[in-house]
Amino acid sequence: KNEVEQSPQNLTAQEEEFITINCSYSVGISALHWLQQHPGGGIVSLFMLSSGKKKHGRLIATINIQEKHSSLHITASHPRDSAVYICAVLMDTDKLIFGTGTRLQVFP
């Protein structure tokens, strides 16, 4: 069993839909990253969370440390949001473990 699980693996949405991507982990962590990888491979860090909630534009990330769960929400989705979204947990040992990613496609 992977230490970091993401769901769904693939997600298709219509423009303007509200999107949620989930990440569950089974190890002790000090922080959690949400990353975005566009076709062509470039990876961008979206958020780093250790508690609570963060918001940037149409993106919202939440984390529940007790439940070992984080969610990434996209409001009013747009085709340019199409990408692979990756959850990565920073373990107490400073090792970073990645989820397998969620491939999002948003259609106009």
Residues engaged in binding another protein (CB under 8 A):
30-31, 33, 35, 41-45, 47-48, 86, 88, 90, 93-101
CB of 83 to another protein, least distance (A): 14
The Cα-based distances of 49 to 3, 10, 34, 39 in angstroms read 18, 23, 8, 25
* Closer residue to another protein in complex, CB, 9/14: 9
CB of 80 to another protein, least distance (A): 19
CA distance 9 to 78: 19
* Closer residue to another protein in complex, CB, 25/101: 101
- 104, 11 Cβ separation under 8 angstroms: yes
